[in-house]
Structures are given as C-alpha cells and as structure tokens.
Structure 1
Amino acid sequence: MAGRPLIGISTYLESRTRWGTWELEAALLPAGYPRLVQRAGGLAAMLPPDEPEHAAAAVARLDGLVIAGGPDVEPVRYGARRDPRTGPPARERDAWELALIDAALAAGVPLLGICRGMQLLNVALGGTLTQHVDGHAEAIGIFGRHPVKPVPGTLYAAAVPEEASVPTFHHQAVDRLGEGLVASAHAADGTVEAVELSCGAGWVLGVQWHPEMDEDLRVMRELVRAAS
C-alpha cells in the first residue's frame, strides 16, 4: 500500500472522568480501537461528538470510518418506547454518529460499525432494535465469547469464511433490518451478528461483537484494504 489510510473512530463523551488529580468531562476511547486500526495497517484518528452539520466535512478527510461500541441507542431513534432495561441515552453521540454514518454512505467511504455501531447503522437505514436479549453478555465489565457463523457469499464471509469464536458484550440486537442491509453472520440462537449493504453498494459492514478485544485482524484489515 502506498500510504497508511486514515481511519476515523467515533468516541465516547463522558461527563466525569478521573485521571491523576483531575476529574473532568472527557472524549475518550478504549485503546483497543486505535490499536486494532494500527495493527491492521491504518492510521487512527479519534472523532469526538461534534455538531451533526460538520459530519460531512469530517468524513471528507477520512479514508475509512469506524463507529465504536458504547451505550444503548435511544429508542426514540427507531420509533420505540424505552424498555426499563435500556440504558440512559447518549444523545450527542447518537446525533453525531448518525450524521457520520449518513455522510459515509453518501460519500462511499468504507464503514465498519462495532456493536453499538452496527446497531446504529441499522437504525440509520430505518431498521429497529430488540432492546434486550439474554446470553450475549458474560457479566458487567467482562467480555464473553461465542461462535458466529458467516452467511456464504457475503462481504463478511469473504473475510472470515469459517465459524469463529468472537468476544461479545451486548444486551440489544438487530430486530428489523434497515433498508438495503442483509444479515451476514448469526449466533447459534439466531441473533444477527453481522450486517452489510447488499452486493455492489460499497464496503459497509457492521459486527455485533468487539474485534478490538481479539487477536483476529481480518475484519479490520478488510476495512483498511477498502480504505486504501
């Protein structure tokens, strides 16, 4: 590759974060995300929440985009009432990341959604979410593992053709698929574990698990390759 492509990664925005003697509002990201991009051959750039109207300008400077994991998507975004088990909203992230997704889709910029990012991709395209599923989160603060099976002929299957064990931590999942999306991997219980745009619509993939917590670089390498 002639140069390392620039991959933007959306970030958390936390009101109270402590480091050293400081406790301040912070835009932050688990280090696994930029390290995964770097190990896969890309340059990582953090994209903290901003005004949605600036999303297109941000995406125009990128070669690829990752929407990171994080809190539950606010149910109003897909026309649902909040389930008591759904976490508090992160409205600034929702607005900013939906705008980033829209901008990437419009510009044809390769896009990878991770966990929440996959769910938000589905919502951006008119899909809905199931607000609680059991068996996909080990315990608070602990990633579990389970196998996911690729759908033959999909973008995901081209990267990972075999059933693979993946690190997982989520309690929500895709319900109705968004317009143009197809399921490209499933868990043993039928949960949609990966989604992508139908053939010929550019490199757009969402995975429900957390590749930044694993040694398998194949999905991120495919994003970096597409971004190159």
Structure 2
Amino acid sequence: MGAPIIGLTTYREDAAWGVWQQRADLLPTQYADAVEATGGVPLLLPPVGQTGAADAVVARLDGLVISGGADVDPTRYADAPHPRTAAWRPDRDAWEVALLDAAEAASLPVLGVCRGMQVMAVHAGGVLDQHVPDLVHHERHSPGGDAFGETEVVTLAETRVASLVGDRLTVNCHHHQSVRTHPGYDAVARAADGTLEAIESSGDRFCVGVQWHPETAADVGLLAGLVRAAAAYAGTR
C-alpha cells in the first residue's frame, strides 16, 4: 500500500513570482513539507465551484486538511461583519464547506488548521467571535504582520488531541477570530485567557480542529495523527 494522499485546501490570492503578477492558487510550503515528513503525500485543492466536485475529490483522498487563511464570511453564521472582519473569500468558504460535507459522508479523516477549525465549527452550525481582542483585551494571538503569537495551550485529558500533543504545549497562533459555539464537537484545549484552541468529534473518526498552526513548528503530532488515520482509512477501501 502506498503513502496516504492528504488533500490541502489552498488560498486564492494575488501573487508575484519571476516576471509574473497575477491571481494564483497557493499555500505555504510548510503544509506540504509537514505532510510529507509524517509519511503522507500532499495534494493541493484550489477552490472549485463545479457541482459534485467535492464528492469526486474526497473519493480520491485518504485525509483532508482545511488550511488557514482569511476570515469566514459572517453571513454563513447569520452575523453582521465586525469592523475588523475583512476580505472573506466566498469561493473558498463554499468549497471547504462542500469538502466537509463530502468528508463527513465518507467518514474521511479531517484536520482543520486555524481558519480550518473555524470553518468546521460554522459548517456544524456554530458561531464565531469575530475579534478576540474584544474578549481577552490583548493581541497576543495575532501580534500583527507576518509574526506568529506564542500561546501556551492546555489540553483536556483523555482526548485525541491530548494523546497526540500532550497535556500542554506552546503553539504558534495567528488569528483574531475564535470559535464561540461548535455543535457536535467537544472543546478539548484552551489558552490561559480562555480562548478555545481545539475541538474534536467523539468516536473513532479523526475529526480535529486546532486554532494554532502545527505546520510551522516541531509540533508534528497532529499531522502525524492525521496521516496515521488516513493510512488506516486507505486500508479499509
């Protein structure tokens, strides 16, 4: 049996390389490197609007990562935009929600990273807090620019996330929004200021969302767990 195929959703942004400056589908290389380092084969999944595309893609995957990125469109959870909510991507929102629908139907292993955790919560009928500093009165979760904030996270004992990363760890965060409600998911990790940092579904299926960026640091436990679950999933086909 070959290495499991892990789909990674991508950004769609204006980008520059060589002599070119145009719209591009892209993702930080750290994601693909982390998947490869833990035994998977990465496959990039740019937004597709074609009916049935998500089902066709999921049928060919062994695992799925909903990657980080822009804010989720607040109309998806029936809220008005906060003044600091900006630049949401309706095409990407629709694509990732469709992928999560297909993944749920197929019991595909899923990991949500930062925005990915938020998309998972919204897909399940949850609501986001649109600007974390309004709640915690600091900006350490997203210090600005291209810098990550270091956040100590405490996990809930006897959960999947705790089994993969331990009872506490320092993580790289870059988010100004967070999950308020998450129907169907358990809250399994928090920062000291109370910010929800991880959710997971109960049962045997690997379905985990984290607010931090495991691809940027030595924290390979989550991605390794996803790849192991994907390998087991591939073995059942």
Under a length normalisation based on structure 2, what TM-score does the superposition of the two structures give? 0.92
- Counterpart position of 2:132: 133
Look up the equivalent residue of 1:168 and give its one-letter code: C
CA contact (8 A) 1:52 1:95 kept: no
The count of residues paired between Structure 1 and Structure 2 equals: 224
1:39 to 37, 42, 56: 37
Q: Does 1:55 align with 2:49?
A: no
Offset, 1:52 = 5.5
Match of 1:184 among 179, 183, 188: 188
Q: 1:17: Cα distance to partner?
A: 1.4
Task: Write the distance in 1 (CA, Å) between the matches of 2:65 and 2:54.
Answer: 13
Gaps of 5+ in 1: none
- Give 1:176's aligned amino acid: T
Change (3 A) 1:106 1:201: farther
For residue 49 of structure 1, give the secondary structure of its aligned residue in structure 2: coil
Of residues 207, 211, 216, the one that matches 2:214 is 211
Structure 2 residue runs of 5 or longer lacking an equivalent are 134-138, 232-237
Map 1:1-228 → 2, pairs under 5 A: 2-14=1-13, 16-51=14-49, 53=51, 54-134=53-133, 135=139, 136-177=141-182, 179-198=183-202, 200=203, 202-228=205-231
Distance in 1, matches of 2:105 and 2:206, equals 12
Structure 1 residues 59, 24: CA separation in 2 closer, same or farther (over 3 Å shift)?
same
Q: Please give the secondary structure, in 2, of the residue aligned with 1:93.
A: helix
Query: Using the alignment, how far apart are the partners of 1:90 and 1:23 within structure 2?
Result: 20
What is the rounded CA distance, in whole Å, between the counterparts of 2:104 and 2:208 in structure 1? 11
The answer (yes or no) to whether the contact 1:6–1:64 under 8 Å persists in 2 is yes
Deviations 1:37-82 (A, max 9, x none): 0111100000000016310110110000000000000000001000
Give TM-score, length-normalised by structure 1.
0.96
Q: CA RMSD in A?
A: 1.0
What SS does structure 2 have at the residue aligned with 1:147? strand
Cα distance, 1:201 vs structure 2? 5.1
Does the 8 Å CA contact 1:52/1:99 hold for their aligned counterparts? no
Alpha-carbon contact 2:186-2:200 (below 8 Å) kept: yes
**Which SS does the other structure have where 1:41 is aligned?**
coil
Letter of the aligned partner of 1:115 in structure 2? C
Q: Percent identity?
A: 48
Q: Provide the secondary structure at the position in 2 that maps to 1:25.
A: strand
SS at match of 2:102: helix
SS in 1 for 2:143: coil
Superposed displacement of residue 105, structure 1: 1.1
Deviation string, structure 1 residues 142-195 (Cα, Å, up to 9, x no partner):
011111000112110111222100001100000112x21111100001111000
